[in-house]
Amino acid sequence: MTVFEPRIIAMLCNWCAYDGADAAGRARLDLPAQVREVRVMCSGQVDPDMILKAFAAGADGVMVLGCKPGDCHYKEGNLHALKRIVLLRSVLKPTPVHPHRLQLDWVSAGQGHHYAQVVNDMVETIRSLGPLAVGVSREER
C-alpha cells in the first residue's frame, strides 16, 4: 500500500513569507518536502486563475502566504489577496476542491517558526483530506 504524500504549492510574497521560509531553513526547522515554493512579488499578484491551474496540474493543496495587514509593500495587495481567497473558497465549495485545500496566511520576514508551523499544518490538513484527483491521474504526476 502506498502512502499518500500530498503535493502542495505555496506562493510566497518576496518581501515577507519568502524571507520567513528562508529563516526557517537557516534555523534548520523541520520543513515538509511536500511543499513546493513559488516566489511572487506580492500575495495580491496571485490571480485565482493561477490557483486553479495549480489544482488542475495536480496540486492537492495551494497556499498563499503574504505580508501581515499593514505591511504590504504595495499597500493593499494582501487585502486584495484576502478578498480573492475568500471569494474563491466560496466558489470552490460545490466542487471536489474542498475549501480547506486553499489556505491564506501571513508570515513576516524572520518568522521562520511561524512559516514552519503553517506549512506543516497544511500538510496535515491535506493528508486528512486525501488526494485530489482533478485534471490528472496520480500516475501522471
Distance of alpha carbon 127 from alpha carbon 97, whole angstroms: 14
Binding-site member from 8, 15, 55, 103 for ligand FES (CB under 6 A): 15
Distance of alpha carbon 132 from alpha carbon 45, whole angstroms: 25
Query: Which residues in 50-79 contact ligand FES (CB under 6 A)?
Result: 66-67, 72-74, 77-78
Torsion over CA of 125, 126, 130 and 134, rounded to 10 degrees?
Answer: 140
16 lies in the binding site for ligand FES (CB under 6 A):
yes
20 lies in the binding site for ligand FES (CB under 6 A):
no
State the CB neighbour count (10 A cutoff) for residue 102: 21
112 lies in the binding site for ligand FES (CB under 6 A):
no
Q: Return the number of the residue (40 or 123) whose C-beta is nearest ligand FES.
A: 40
Nine cell digits for residue 114: 511561524
> Footprint of ligand FES on this chain (CB under 6 A)?
13, 15-16, 42-44, 66-67, 72-74, 77-78
